[in-house]
Structure 1
Amino acid sequence: MVFWEGYVSDETMGTFAPIVVYWVYAGVYQLLPPLDRYRLHTRKEEEQKNLVSLSSVIKGVLLQQLAQATIAQLLFLVTSDSSPTGTIAQLPVLIQLLQIIVAMFVMDTWQYFVHRYMHQNKFLYRHIHSQHHRLVVPYAIGALYNHPLEGLLLDTFGGVISFLVSGMTARTAVFFFCFAVMKTVDDHCGLWLPGNIFHLFFQNNTAYHDIHHQLQGSKYNYSQPFFSIWDRILGTHMPYSLVTRKEGGLEARPLKE
């Protein structure tokens, strides 16, 4: 039993809970004090290097989430017709955890190859993926700032495929997609906070993805949002070291393999 049972359907929660989680979690990061000693880039760098305003980023994210919500509703409508009522509550926790792990690997695989191709294809990079890289210095609210077509291909279709391949129910999807959203936001937050649980369990983290957003790492660290497996297997892994800057804060410095 979950807290929303009897109030809204699992399909409704699966559609809108990830959106709410995105803005709450990213908003917390946005409202934090400067925390300069934990920043991977100075505030001056963020102001000078980023090529898009915060208001444009917010509009872009809302547009992507509108598309995601529309497709999620269609997906749940189609799949719920083939699922017997009551199956959701009967799934053992271990099976749901296995489905989530499968979904994580499926999503990582889809996003790695689509993301990498968008860098390798000059047309796609120039006209589509470069929009995300206007945030040279990433921040939490910009995690889903993409060209609408990229948002559809990379994130939305990646989520659909993960959901279908794993065989999860709408209820399990609520937890999986909320978790995926939090991980994605965290990867773009630009802060290396002590005790961050994502940094403890995932090598693909804030600093790892920050390397990719920098010029010297743009052809490396394509993996997102969970593991770095495909980067390591296919030779696109860029290790890094965290060093303290003289002016304060931290820097993820690429290391040659």
Structure 2
Amino acid sequence: MVPWEGYVSDETMGTFAPIVLYWVYAGGYQLILHRRPLQRFRLHTQAEEDEKNLVSVPTVIRGVLLQQLVQAIVAMILFMVTSDSSTPVVQPSIGIQTFQFLVAMLVMDSWQYFVHRYMHQNKFLYRHIHSQHHRLIVPYAIGALYNHPLEGLLLDTLGGALSFLFSGMTPRTAVFFFCFAVVKTVDDHCGLWLPYNIFQNLFQNNTAYHDVHHQLQGTKYNYSQPFFSIWDRILGTHMPYNLIKREEGGFEARPLKD
């Protein structure tokens, strides 16, 4: 039994719950990012954000909403094609769902690593498509899904669809997986290094790891997202970093050469 059962379908929840959660979670981060007590946890100062970022917040919001519109359309088509309303869906055991989660995470990581890396290596694709995301040199939460619409479709939306199909998860399991993936992606772009953040403690691919990728020295490294750093380590694109506390407050993820 889940809270929405009897009110909306699992397919509807799988389509719209990740979008709503994105704005709730990212919006919460955005509200606290500029609070004075939390300045000591920032990876970049407010002055750096204002000086380095090449796109305004309203433009970022419009870009994310456009990507989410495409995402919702693709999700509805995906669920429509794969669901059979004449056959009741039996939810598998927790053990099987856990295995499906892991498979989906590995599929999404693999897809996003290779597509992401190719968009950096292909000069045309980088200049005309992927560079839009890198206009946020100083990442922040609501910009996590700020991409060129084509990149959003290929990298995030198609990556999510492949994860769903290859893992064999049900639409109900997909609700939780897609929400988890959204929260993790937002967290990786939040711009804060928080001591009790479960994602930053459990995952090596975290806020500081991805912040290195947005820096000039790390733009050809740390392609992995959103969960593990496996492919970076296997294929030699992993760049370690030192997390240094700044005198004026906050932290700096300083890239190191392997």
TM-score bracket for this pair, using the shorter chain length: over 0.9
Unaligned runs of 5+ in 1: none
| Equivalent position of 2:156 in the other structure | 155
C-alpha displacement of 1:82: 8.2
Structure-1 separation of matches of 2:10 and 2:181:
17
* Amino acid across the alignment from 1:20: V
2:221 counterpart SS class: coil
% of aligned pairs identical? Answer: 78
1:83-232 equivalence runs, <5 A? 84-88=87-91, 91-232=92-233
C-alpha displacement of 1:84: 2.8
Paired residues of 2:188 and 2:210 also in contact (CA < 8 A): yes
Cα RMSD for the two superposed structures: 1.0
1:157-204 Cα deviation digits (max 9, x unpaired): 000000000000100000000000000000000000111000121000
C-alpha displacement of 1:83: 8.1
Paired residues of 2:89 and 2:170 also in contact (CA < 8 A): no
C-alpha displacement of 1:247: 1.9
- From the superposition, tell whether residues 82 and 230 of structure 1 become closer, same or farther in structure 2 (CA, over 3 Å): farther
1:67-86 equivalence runs, <5 A? 67-81=70-84, 84-86=87-89
1:75-111 Cα deviation digits (max 9, x unpaired): 00010028831323xx101111110110000000000
Structure-1 separation of matches of 2:110 and 2:96:
21
1:242-257 equivalence runs, <5 A? 242-257=243-258
| Equivalent position of 1:38 in the other structure | 41
* Amino acid across the alignment from 2:79: F
* Amino acid across the alignment from 2:64: V
Normalised to the residue count of structure 2, the TM-score between the two structures is: 0.97
* Amino acid across the alignment from 1:219: K
User: Number of residues paired by the alignment?
Assistant: 255
Deviation >4 Å, runs of 4+? none
Structure-2 separation of matches of 1:182 and 1:120:
28
Structure-2 separation of matches of 1:134 and 1:84:
47
Paired residues of 2:111 and 2:155 also in contact (CA < 8 A): yes
**Does structure 1 residue 51 correspond to structure 2 residue 50?**
no
**Does structure 1 residue 239 correspond to structure 2 residue 223?**
no
